[in-house]
């Protein structure tokens, strides 16, 4: 019984959880969302550029996109964050006079996300039937206009579930930014929980951080499943009751 009490006190100290939750919601949650959403946005922009380069008729941009993707998909996330955050930190401070690690953290997350998002976009674009491009060209569109106005929008729509999955990954990877050193006001969810755990000698704040991450990621996971099912099966048809059908058949 003593063992169970010790485990409960270590992992499920409700008082320790309650003490850290307000700071997680007011400080950690906004910072986590800033990191994840900003990285997702810039990652999508760079990823689209990589996708277009990857399907280019010119082999040179295709090779550049391939090499970039292989490098940033092959390196561990923590290594990329440290190399960019610490390596470019002095240059960033000289140019801006700021010590805020967020821009470099967002840069690192964006570069990593772009490698994955670029492949997602490329597969989506290449999944669009060739006849779509041919029909657009037959209507007088140039190759570039047909790709931008017809093919690429359809490709993006097909990979929306995968893009949401990438946002989920960024929410979790944002916890690694603490390695760059954060001020109290800059801490994300994990750092808030980790600091509280270190101060109290109790792991319950980390459990609270984990629960908050789950509150963010589980709804997004179900959204991915819903979007995937909707795209595979289409919109559900509304079935009218037999009585309503009979009344319509009788006329006015």
Q: Are 92 and 104 in contact (CB under 8 A)?
A: yes
CA distance 103 to 86: 12
Residues 156-197 have pLDDT tens digits of 888 888 888 899 999 999 989 888 888 888 889 999 998 888
Give the domain ranges of the chain: 2-250
Q: Which secondary structure element, helix H or strand E, spans residue 62, and what is its range? A: helix 59-74
249 confidence band (pLDDT: 50, 70, 90): low
DSSP 121-184: HHHHHHHS-HHHHHHHHHTT--HHHHIIIIIHHHHHHHTHHHHHHHHHHHHHHGGGGGGG---G
- Check whether 63 has a pLDDT greater than 90: yes
Average pLDDT, the chain: 84
Q: What are the residues whose beta carbons fall under 8 Å from the beta carbon of 192, sequence distance 6 or more? A: 20, 23, 24, 27, 28, 205, 209
pTM of the model: 0.82
Mean pLDDT of 134-147: 79
Q: Which has the closest alpha carbon to 153: 178, 112, 199, 121?
A: 121
CATH 1.10.3720.10 correct for 2-250: yes
pLDDT at residue 98, as a whole number: 78
How many alpha carbons fall within 13 Å on the CB side of residue 26? 7
């Amino acid at each position: 019984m003593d063992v169970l009490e010790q485990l409960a006190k270590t992992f499920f100290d409700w008082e320790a959880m309650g003490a850290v939750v307000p700071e997680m919601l007011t400080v950690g949650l906004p910072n986590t969302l800033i990191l994840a959403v900003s990285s997702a946005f810039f990652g999508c922009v760079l990823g689209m550029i990589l996708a277009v380069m990857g399907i280019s008729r010119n082999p040179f941009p295709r090779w550049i996109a391939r090499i970039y993707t292989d490098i940033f998909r092959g390196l561990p996330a923590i290594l990329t964050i440290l190399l960019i955050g610490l390596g470019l930190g002095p240059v960033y401070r000289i140019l801006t006079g700021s010590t805020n690690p967020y821009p470099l953290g967002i840069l690192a997350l964006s570069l990593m996300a772009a490698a994955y998002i670029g492949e997602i976009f490329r597969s989506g674009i290449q999944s669009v039937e060739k006849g779509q491009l041919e029909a657009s060209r037959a209507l007088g569109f140039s190759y570039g206009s047909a790709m931008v106005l017809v093919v690429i929008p359809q490709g993006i729509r097909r990979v929306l579930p995968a893009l949401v999955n990438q946002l989920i990954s960024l929410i979790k990877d944002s916890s690694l930014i603490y390695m760059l050193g954060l001020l109290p006001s800059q801490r994300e969810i994990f750092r808030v929980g980790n600091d509280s755990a270190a101060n109290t000698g109790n792991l319950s704040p980390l459990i609270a951080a984990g629960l908050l991450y789950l509150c963010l990621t589980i709804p997004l996971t179900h959204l991915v499943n819903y979007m995937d099912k909707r795209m595979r099966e289409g919109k559900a048809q509304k079935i009218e009751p037999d009585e309503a059908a009979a009344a319509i058949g009788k006329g006015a």
